[in-house]
Copies of this chain bind each other. A is one copy, B any other.
């Protein structure tokens, strides 16, 4: 069970935009709370992105309305009017004032069915409750699993679907997200909603969320594509009365966001495992990590459980970063074992079969070090197999 921060209610209903599962979800704040948002940098954006960004200029939110099944993107003027209407209908249904953010995910280039959506919003107040599960279901598209993470403030250990313990806490952070499944006929929208009852009113929470996202969701790659509808929101009710420092809040929120990002990578399209690519040293370890994590050759090798150090080193070499291969050390960490595959410019005498067996694990770390004293940067990715091709080639628009 997650620890749900005080001050928030949730609803999720099915209005028929998707074939199954809830498709309209609302997070209702008891009052207007400080909030921040991070939005896709794609030049081709859904109207919900521009709308919610402008709503957040007021730096607070009273509610969030999300629909799945239709991204309301490439839908012209009508799409913009529909986004605004979603916020208005939510305001009327719950009889609330204050800023309302809108997020949409699903098929693009098709008009939103506002008749269905209006019915769904109107039915939402009756479903309002403390359990976020109906909301969580309402934001999913082709995700195979629900993704949530929560943390008792002051704890180091996240609670999530694979580790569903309970911790007592004065204050907590709870995050839910969707992503990695393809949306017919389009791309993998990532939506993330992080709520907390920490009092962050004294902090720059936009900077807080941006910094946390840069270490988590912005370190995530399934196929290198950035969606038109990506959005992460943070809302802080302050109900716990706990006022952390910026660094304390950043640490806690980043832990939840990193955990969510890993869950998305693990549920990547057709993925069989989470790949964590760590690079240490050189003037741009992040760019090298990203190049390795995006390489189809590396990702297919990991799918095939093949300890193919050459592909990893070659991807590093083409990242556009000056580096000295003769001092590189490459380790693969999987299934509790660590294997040195390449050291000082030459391959080591490792046992391919043993490494291959370890690579069957659900979590594989590729650790490439050019200088142990340098900075370490991490990218979260997944392997690349037949499932990815099946999902993305066999679907027809």
A contact set with B: CB distance below 8 Å: 41-45, 73-76, 108-109, 182, 185-187, 223-228, 294-297, 300-301, 303-304, 306-311, 313-318, 321-323, 325, 342, 345-347, 352, 356, 384-386, 388-389, 392-397
Chain B residues with CB below 8 A from A346, complex form: 74-76, 109
CB distance from A207 to the nearest CB of B (A): 23
Q: Which residue of B lies closest to A223 (CB)?
A: B296
Minimum-distance CB pairs A-B, first 7: A44-B317, A304-B393, A300-B392, A226-B318, A43-B317, A186-B310, A42-B317
Please tell me if the beta carbons of A43 and B322 are within 8 angstroms of each other in the complex: yes
Chain B residues with CB below 8 A from A294, complex form: 224
Please tell me if the beta carbons of B74 and A317 are within 8 angstroms of each other in the complex: no
Please tell me if the beta carbons of A225 and B295 are within 8 angstroms of each other in the complex: yes
Chain B residues with CB below 8 A from A109, complex form: 309-310, 346-347
Number of this chain's copies in the assembly equals: 2
Please tell me if the beta carbons of B388 and A386 are within 8 angstroms of each other in the complex: no
CB distance from A165 to the nearest CB of B (A): 36
Q: Which residue of B lies closest to A225 (CB)?
A: B297
20 pairs of residues in contact across A and B, judged by CB atoms under 8 Å: A43-B318, A43-B321, A74-B310, A75-B346, A76-B346, A109-B309, A185-B306, A185-B308, A185-B310, A186-B314, A187-B311, A187-B314, A296-B296, A297-B392, A301-B392, A306-B395, A356-B396, A384-B393, A386-B386, A388-B389
The A interface, classified by DSSP as helix, strand, loop or mixed, is loop
Q: Which residue of B lies closest to A227 (CB)?
A: B314
Of residues A224, A307, A310, A318, which shows the largest number of chain B Cβ atoms within 10 Å of its Cβ? A310
Please tell me if the beta carbons of A108 and B310 are within 8 angstroms of each other in the complex: yes
Whether A297 contacts B397 in the complex (CB less than 8 A), given A43-B322, A384-B389, comes out as no
Please tell me if the beta carbons of B187 and A76 are within 8 angstroms of each other in the complex: no
- Bound-complex Cα distance A395 to B300 (A): 10
Chain B residues with CB below 8 A from A225, complex form: 295-297, 311, 314-315, 318
Partner of A43, one of B227, B307, B325: B325
Please tell me if the beta carbons of B393 and A300 are within 8 angstroms of each other in the complex: yes
CB distance from A261 to the nearest CB of B (A): 18
Chain B residues with CB below 8 A from A185, complex form: 306, 308, 310-311
Please tell me if the beta carbons of B186 and A311 are within 8 angstroms of each other in the complex: yes
Chain B residues with CB below 8 A from A304, complex form: 392-396
- Bound-complex Cα distance A227 to B303 (A): 21
Of residues A307, A309, A318, A393, which shows the largest number of chain B Cβ atoms within 10 Å of its Cβ? A393
Whether A389 contacts B303 in the complex (CB less than 8 A), given A314-B186, A314-B227, A352-B396, comes out as yes
Whether A318 contacts B74 in the complex (CB less than 8 A), given A306-B185, A396-B304, comes out as no
Q: Which residue of B lies closest to A326 (CB)?
A: B76
Q: Which residue of B lies closest to A228 (CB)?
A: B314
CB distance from A327 to the nearest CB of B (A): 12
Q: Which residue of B lies closest to A297 (CB)?
A: B225
Partner of A306, one of B356, B389, B397: B397
